[in-house]
C-alpha cells in the first residue's frame, strides 16, 4: 500500500527544514570556504588563511561586482585563483547575467559529492 503525503505532512517538512536557516547558511558557507581554502583569491587577496567562519568571511571578503572579478575569471584556466588547486575548473558556461543582459562566464569544477 502506497503511503500518502498530506498537506499537513508537507507543511511540517517545510517548517522542519526552515526552522534554523541561519545555521544552515553558516554550515553551507563553512563547507564552501573549506572546499576553496587554497583558492588564491580567498587565501591571498582576502587573507582568509583557511578560516571558515561567517564573521571572518564578512570581515575579510569585500562585496564585489562581476567586473571586479573578471580579470581573475579570465585567467582561471591557468591558475587556481578562484577554485583552488585541488578543484581545477573543468569547464565554463555562460549566463546572460542579471544586469543589462550581458553574457557572463561561470566556472564549474565538477567537484564530487
pLDDT of 35 higher than 80: yes
Partnered with residue 91 across adjacent β-strands are 108
Residue 2 in any domain: the answer is: no
Kindly state whether residue 96 falls inside one of the protein's structural domains: yes
Q: Are 53 and 62 in contact (CB under 8 A)?
A: no
Q: Is residue 113 part of a domain?
A: no
pLDDT score at 30: 94
CB 103 within 8 A of CB 94: yes
Burial class (CB in 10 A: 0-12, 13-18, 19+), 39: buried
Residue 52 has pLDDT above 90, yes or no: yes
For the ranges 36-50, 72-86, 99-113, the maximum mean pLDDT occurs at: 36-50
How many structural domains compose the chain?
Answer: 1
Query: According to the model, what pLDDT value does residue 94 have?
Result: 63
Q: How far apart, in whole angstroms, are the C-alpha atoms of residue 67 and residue 81?
A: 15
One-letter-per-residue 3-state SS of 9-40: HHHHHHHHHCCCHHHHHHHHHHHHHHHCCCCH
Does residue 66 fall inside a structural domain?
yes
What are the tens digits of pLDDT across the range 5-17? 899 999 998 998 8
The confidence score (pLDDT) of residue 99 equals 55
The whole-model pTM stands at: 0.59
Residue 50 lies in a domain: yes
- Domain hosting 37: range is 9-108
Percent of residues, the chain, with pLDDT higher than 90: 28
Amino acid at each position: 500500500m502506497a503511503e500518502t503525503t498530506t498537506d499537513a505532512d508537507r507543511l511540517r517538512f517545510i517548517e522542519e527544514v526552515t526552522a534554523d536557516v541561519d545555521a544552515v547558511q553558516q554550515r553551507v558557507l563553512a563547507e564552501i570556504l573549506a572546499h576553496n581554502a587554497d583558492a588564491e583569491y580567498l587565501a591571498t587577496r582576502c587573507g582568509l588563511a583557511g578560516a571558515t567562519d561567517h564573521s571572518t568571511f564578512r570581515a575579510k571578503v569585500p562585496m564585489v561586482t562581476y567586473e571586479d572579478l573578471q580579470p581573475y575569471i579570465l585567467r582561471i584556466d591557468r591558475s587556481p585563483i578562484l577554485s583552488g588547486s585541488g578543484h581545477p575548473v573543468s569547464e565554463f558556461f555562460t549566463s546572460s547575467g542579471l544586469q543589462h543582459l550581458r553574457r557572463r562566464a561561470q566556472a564549474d569544477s565538477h567537484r564530487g559529492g
